[in-house]
Structure 1
Amino acid sequence: MIDKRALRATMRATRKRLAGLDAGAAARAADQADALPPGRIIAVYRAIGSELGADFLSLALSRAGRELCLPVVIARDAPMVFRRWSPGEPLELDEAGVPAPFPLAEIIDPDLILAPLLAFDAVGRRLGQGGGYYDRTFAARPNVTRIGFAYAGQEVEHLPVEAHDIRLHGVLTETGYRPFA
């Protein structure tokens, strides 16, 4: 059995190294926005630390006429909710300390969720930070398209899977979009 804690530490270092090597990765990934699956309402995220930034992608999606929302943690053990958001609107920290729209923003249901990650493999397994926020949210929204957003160098040969882990439908990186079977 692979030790997920050790794997997370390794992949955090890998992601930090990738972020330092390629400042243009997020812009190149945004150039691939048209390749994403259809969806009128797209959940993006505000990058923390070395996560691949979604700012360029958010602007590209907005220009393409897609509505955006951001995930919001309202309770640490519950699925996230999504509040309508447009690039440039002010944000505040949610219960997990992540930038999110103000409580007055409308709660909406996304058609597609873009999720940050530490690692992914060729069959759509995702290694997150370990808080379970995205897995709980994916479980509560089984019909939503789940897309990882990451550096291509975050791909690993195989990730361990547990009962609560939910696979991605695809991944968007600076090298393009790849669907998983």
Structure 2
Amino acid sequence: MTDLSAQPRSEAALRKAALRDAALARRDALEIDDRLEWDPDIARQVLELPVWGQGGPVSAYWPMRSEADPRPILEELNRRALLLCLPAIVGGRMIFRQWAPYEPIVPGGFGTLVPPPQQPEVQPRILLVPLAAFDRRGYRIGYGKGYYDRALSDLGQTVSIGIGYAAQEIGTVPEEPHDKRLDWIVTERETIRCG
């Protein structure tokens, strides 16, 4: 698959790039003490969603920069005996490798940490997705490579849950044909049902 960022940029993509830069700057400017206080609120709300009865596998991400931290969610889901996985970019596409809290992780490119290559690949049914920005319809802006949109399309029937901070909300995310809408968005302030 080709990298979406390598293709000619549409007007929506150019608007997204400007919105991404502003949203990441807002998120990076949040006080770390506030984020450390908000992350447990996000985790509590995510764990209260009516989606966990269908079981796993559940994918999350290893937080980087100022992203909301899903690790407390993963620890609780691990206690509930749900199979967990983390994404890795292999051959230009996102795959998901089995992982559990305190198991090894290795550098995976783009500043991420991922399960080692010998971990089995799994197909998640529920995905916790990081956000640069989002709107209330469930559209998100990520880092601009399109990996999550392609993964959500390839996986088919899944539940997607964006997690981030209220400061990342914008009025409207410019839509592109490949964009996939999230089912839920959870911030420290609220849970938004999108789908």
Q: Do these two structures clear the TM 0.5 threshold for a shared fold by scoring above it?
A: yes
Query: What is the deviation of 1:159?
Result: 0.9
Q: What RMSD in Å do the two structures reach over aligned CA positions?
A: 1.7
1:8 maps to which of 20, 26, 46: 20
The answer on whether the counterparts of 1:19 and 1:50 sit within 8 Å (CA) in structure 2 is no
1:62 maps to which of 78, 94, 98: 78
| Percent of pairs with identical residues | 33
Residues 70-111 of structure 1: per-residue CA shift (max 9 Å, x gap)? 0011123x2x11111001111112244421111111111111
The answer on whether the counterparts of 1:18 and 1:151 sit within 8 Å (CA) in structure 2 is no
The farther-off stretch of 1-10 and 144-153 is: 1-10
Residues 103-137 of structure 1: per-residue CA shift (max 9 Å, x gap)? 11111111111110111111101111101111111
Q: Give the TM-score of the pair, scaled to structure 1.
A: 0.91
What code does the residue aligned with 1:85 have?
A: W
Q: Which runs of 4+ in 1 moved over 4 A?
A: none
Tell me which residue corresponds to 2:176. 162
Where do residues 112-151 of structure 1 align in structure 2 (5 Å cutoff)? Answer: 112-151=126-165
Query: What is the deviation of 1:153?
Result: 2.1
1:29 maps to which of 24, 29, 42: 42
Tell me which residue corresponds to 1:110. 124
Q: Distance in 2 between matches of 1:86 and 1:138?
A: 22
The answer on whether the counterparts of 1:91 and 1:102 sit within 8 Å (CA) in structure 2 is yes
The farther-off stretch of 1-10 and 124-133 is: 1-10
- CA 1:63–1:173 in 2, change beyond 3 Å: closer, same or farther? farther
Listed as ranges, the gaps of 5+ residues in structure 2 are 1-10
Q: Distance in 1 between matches of 2:133 and 2:68?
A: 12
Listed as ranges, the gaps of 5+ residues in structure 1 are none
Q: Give the TM-score of the pair, scaled to structure 2.
A: 0.85
What code does the residue aligned with 1:53 have?
A: D
Q: Distance in 1 between matches of 2:36 and 2:85?
A: 25
**Aligned pair count?**
179
Q: Distance in 1 between matches of 2:65 and 2:19?
A: 18
Tell me which residue corresponds to 1:50. 66
The farther-off stretch of 20-29 and 122-131 is: 20-29
Residues 35-74 of structure 1: per-residue CA shift (max 9 Å, x gap)? 2523321101001101111111111221233221000111
What code does the residue aligned with 1:89 have?
A: E
SS at match of 1:147: strand
